[in-house]
Structure 1
């Protein structure tokens, strides 16, 4: 009997350790995932365009195919690559972070430049779908390629935020980040894409006037929601991209940009009531990071269009 009790005690102890490990993985995954906020919002803002023009019955299947490709990108390609990087070339993480941050800054600045200087141009040409199956295949492949770039940023940011530990802990955290972010992004995209259909159904078939009014309100609100999401995504890209660059420069020894922004944020916070100091300092830091990101992104636009794009085209479009 005493042996059985001892065994049960051991099992309970193991269960507690396992539960603590799960909690640690979940906490680290949440912290690591939050570092990738800009790329996540950008991913959610970009994806709906890939289902535009298709029959409503194909919207969710297309999103599901893209989501499966995203999981494959993260778990099968990027997770092992990230673990190998962490184990054998951790010095590469900071340069890769800066590269990803620069890409976010470039994407955000390019959108703002388009809004400012090409506002009257049509955002996209209306495309007649003569072969829906072929176009769907092309859109899914294009979306998965775009997702790969954003997923690489997300996984690199998550990897950099994970404290040193065993390779299995890092793998578990990265896997949780990969699955959690994919579900969050593509679940949100599915809700956004189908919200107008839901609103239209409520407006047409609702038995109560309140239901019909709510449905009509959803239909009318969705264009504004999409516009707001785009604006928030652009601001998040510039803020997160700028912050990544500034903190990475600090980590490699150039602390001047970080110090200037920190002193600016502290000075701004000092002019506000004491109970607001933390929020104001954070907001001022995010604002300054975003301005830095915008300036860097604008500087990168001619480099990307005049140098990188021709080289990329020559190498991959032959």
Structure 2
């Protein structure tokens, strides 16, 4: 009997060690794959604050919470099961989903650039009068969740393409881990950003001269931060979208863009000494962004000029 108990405990210990190793593998794989999504995450965090711009400060956090819940549903209830099934039964299709996301990001980024350069705006914008704030808020949340679905799909596809886990449930746990962490980081950051001006106003009312100066400085800084985030978000869209297109065409056997972009990267890297790594990467990112801008501009022209299509309600408020 003692021998049987010892053997059972040994078996439990072996299972526990195997489980711990699996969890460790999943965590490592998730963190490595999640790092590849940095550009999309930056874009998500940069775009989202614009969805509460112009609305009542009292509604900012409730709106962000509603978008956060929608993001969790997008990632965990819609995209996660689909990603697991895709990786299990049709892994060769992942590259096409990545390419579709790359085309969408290129289109969105190019459209924003063209609008900044004086092009036609599409959909309802902040300059339009808001007749029904409740309905406008509802449309904003719906538009943000739709945008989140696209960006989340891109995040999940990037993570899935980077995971080196053979068992489906391990891939599922890694995807779920990345989805939860990314959602918390993105919308937690957004919540802080949109309340910075309120924090500044609160500090400006304190007795301390330092607190007052800091508070007033914070209030003045927030509009500049939002403008900078909008710019960074657009750059991130083009960089990530173009990078996906360059890599995707290479995977599909069309090597021209990939060879040209990496040729530029290596040329800069080999001639700039100690800064070669950084400047080489920046060159590749810039080349990818240029590809996205060109491809996106073509899509904008086709959709808006040829087919006369625009954004639906709630999709263009962030422009």
TM-score, normalising length from structure 2?
Answer: 0.88
Equivalent pairs counted in the alignment come to 310
Query: How many Å separate the matches in 1 of 2:12 and 2:293?
Result: 55
Measured at CA, do residues 104 and 194 of structure 1 come closer, stay the same or move farther in structure 2, by a change above 3 Å?
A: same
Q: Which residue of 2 aligns with 1:316?
A: none
- Which is helix-richer, 1 or 2? 1
Query: How many Å separate the matches in 2 of 1:128 and 1:290?
Result: 35
1:207 counterpart SS class: coil
Q: Which residue of 1 aligns with 2:223?
A: 223
Query: How many Å separate the matches in 2 of 1:9 and 1:307?
Result: 70
Q: Which residue of 2 aligns with 1:304?
A: 303
Measured at CA, do residues 87 and 308 of structure 1 come closer, stay the same or move farther in structure 2, by a change above 3 Å?
A: farther
RMSD of aligned residue pairs (Cα, Å): 2.6
Measured at CA, do residues 218 and 15 of structure 1 come closer, stay the same or move farther in structure 2, by a change above 3 Å?
A: farther
- Is the 2:84–2:172 Cα contact (8 Å) retained in structure 1? yes
Measured at CA, do residues 202 and 5 of structure 1 come closer, stay the same or move farther in structure 2, by a change above 3 Å?
A: farther
- Is the 1:105–1:238 Cα contact (8 Å) retained in structure 2? yes
Q: Which residue of 1 aligns with 2:163?
A: 162
Q: Which residue of 2 aligns with 1:21?
A: 22
Q: Following TM superposition, by how much is the alpha carbon of 1:256 offset from its aligned partner in structure 2, in angstroms?
A: 2.0
Query: How many Å separate the matches in 2 of 1:93 and 1:307?
Result: 30
Mean CA deviation greater in 193-202 or 15-24: 15-24
Mean CA deviation greater in 172-181 or 110-119: 110-119
Q: Which residue of 1 aligns with 2:117?
A: 116
Stretches of structure 2 that go unaligned for 5 or more consecutive residues are 313-319
Stretches of structure 1 that go unaligned for 5 or more consecutive residues are 314-318
Mean CA deviation greater in 158-167 or 70-79: 158-167
Of 117, 122, 127, 1:125 maps to 127
1:1-318 to structure 2, matched below 5 A, reads: 10-118=11-119, 124-128=126-130, 130=132, 132-204=133-205, 206-273=206-273, 275-307=274-306, 310=309
Measured at CA, do residues 94 and 256 of structure 1 come closer, stay the same or move farther in structure 2, by a change above 3 Å?
A: same
